[in-house]
Amino acid sequence: MQSFIYENAFSRNIGWLTCQEQNVLRNKRVAIAGLGGVGGVHLLTLCRLGIGKFHLADFDTFDLANFNRQAGATISTLGLSKLNVMTLQARDINPELEIREFAEGVTAQNVEDFLKDVDIYIDGLDFFAFRVRELVFAACAEQGIPAVTAAPLGMGAAVLNFLPGGMSFNEYFRLNDGPEKEKPLRFLMGLAPARLQMSYLADPSTVDLINQKGPSTAMACQLCAGIAATEALKILLGRGPLRVAPKGFHFDAYRNKLVLTSRPGGNRHPLQRLAILLAKRKLGL
């Protein structure tokens, strides 16, 4: 049986990376909260990039409803811990990984520990996990930790980077500018000002923001993981162009379209305020 050798396992990265850069990534620590749709694929993609250290948080187990998109969801993993399953998959790629597990998820009590010594945070939380998402991004801003969110929308990905000293997640999304029931709408509008996914939604009745339900695809999750890992590479190595909030971008594979977005003031931008108002009327909020 062939022994694991880090340099051999990730040698095909060299060319796009230098050997020195690969060694830098080997010693970087990435935090991922949520190991379902996007989070699980984030983890495996970053493992194959050669990242050597992770803080991982998830309290959920795999269910049949996860089969259409989640990397760890199979018949053999039904009912099993997402954290345990994905940690095993990650160690199967790189047995030398240093992993800290947070089986209770991220909470107000452990968020400081979850982000301790972390170089970057990659958001893998469920779309509707607003309380925890606000908590983690606020802690990242306080501690000067770069944070990346890549949202799977339709068959595409909408991406925002929040860097130390720049616009924060809370300043951009302003989720608390309205009542609790408006948070899903404000989050969706902020993620995807271009709304590329809406033109090909086959059954609008499946989108129910009020009851926290919506459709998903594996393609979107895979795209998110590739893009988020690329953004992480650029941030961690300090090279390559970056769009930083309030600027972002939305790529949609179904429409073969890329839109560079910019919303100064985030959801307080006049176009965003108008879009949110119109959507609220349509939804009867």
Of 205, 208, 58, 221, residue with least CA distance to 155: 221
pLDDT above 80 for 124: yes
Whether 284 has a pLDDT exceeding 80, the answer reads no
CA angle 52, 56, 59 (to 5 degrees): 160
Q: Report the candidate in 279, 113, 106, 109 with the shortest Cα–Cα distance to residue 209.
A: 279
Relative to beta strand 98-102, strand 257-262 is unpaired
pLDDT of residue 134: 97
What pLDDT is stored for residue 163 in this prediction? 98
Query: Over 90: is that where the pLDDT of 280 sits?
Result: no
pLDDT attached to residue 125: 97
| Helix 270-283 with 183-191: angle, nearest 10 deg | 130
Which pLDDT belongs to residue 16? Answer: 98
pLDDT band at 250 (very low <50, low <70, confident <90, very high): very high
Query: Is the confidence at residue 282, as pLDDT, over 80?
Result: no
User: Lowest-confidence range among 74-78, 126-130, 257-261, 279-283?
Assistant: 279-283
Identify the CA nearest to 148 among candidates 12, 49, 2, 32.
32
The label of the residue with tokens 């129910």 reads: 208
Q: Kindly report the number of other CB atoms within 10 A of residue 267's CB atom.
A: 24
Report the candidate in 168, 191, 216, 188 with the shortest Cα–Cα distance to residue 282: 188
Instruction: Write the CB contacts of 213 (distance below 8 Å, at least 6 apart in sequence).
Output: 206, 207
The DSSP code for 66 is G
> By the 8 A CB rule, do 235 and 148 touch?
yes
Report whether pLDDT(217) > 90.
yes
The per-residue pLDDT for 178 is 86
% of the chain with per-residue pLDDT over 90: 91
Q: In what order do the strands lie in the sheet with 53-57?
A: 98-102, 53-57, 29-33, 120-123, 147-153, 156-162, 247-252, 257-262
For residues 222-245, give the mean pLDDT. Answer: 98
To the nearest 10°, report the CA torsion of 57, 188, 207, 284: 130
Instruction: Take residue 237 and report the two structure tokens written for it.
Output: 């190595």
pLDDT at 267 > cutoff 90: yes
254 confidence band (pLDDT: 50, 70, 90): very high
Q: Would the pLDDT of 51 be above 80?
A: yes
Residue range 184-198, pLDDT digits in tens: 999 999 999 999 999
| pLDDT of the residue at 46 | 98
Label residues 225-236 b or e (16+ Cβ within 10 Å = b).
Answer: bebbbbbbbebb
Q: Say what the pLDDT of residue 211 is.
A: 83
Tokens of 141: 């801003």
**Residue 109 pLDDT:** 98
Q: Residue 212 has what pLDDT?
A: 86
Mean pLDDT of the chain: 96
- Please write the tens of the pLDDT for every residue from 102-119: 999 999 999 999 999 999
